[in-house]
Amino acid sequence: MAVRITEECISCEACAPECPVAAILEEGNEKNPNEDYFYVKPESCVECVDHADAPRCAEACPTEGAIVWDMPYTAEFNDYYEQRNEEGIYKIRVHKKKGLMLPSVKEQKFIADIPMADREEAANVQEF
């Protein structure tokens, strides 16, 4: 994962159909830890690498600040995602055989050109 939907989301449904890997869940979905806004499954998001030049969800979103950068879903950030999963920020899928699908189990592609400072600050994806 490398994008996250914030509480700024107005649940307009513009983003979900744009996702080429079906990583976006609507509010109310049992797999979504957020009750009031959409959610990007971190174990599925590929930032549209090999699909588009930029995340399609952010291009479709009418709300500034609703879609922000997050850390790459790579083994380097395994602890980051594990902790946030335990805190309920994320609801990472549990595979029957592989267990919790953390980055150490399966990494995802990400846009390497995004500065880490922007990811750490959860910068607005629409600004890039």
Token pair of 15 as six digits: 């983003």
pLDDT number for residue 103: 96
Sign of CA dihedral 95, 96, 98, 100: positive
Comparing CA positions, the residue from 49, 50, 75, 55 lying closest to residue 5 is: 55
pLDDT number for residue 2: 83
CA 93 to chain centre: 13
The pTM (predicted TM-score) of the whole model is 0.90
Stretches in the chain below the pLDDT threshold 70: 1
pLDDT number for residue 1: 61
* CATH class in words for 1-71+109-128: alpha beta
At 16-43, the pLDDT tens digits run 999 999 999 999 899 999 989 999 999 9
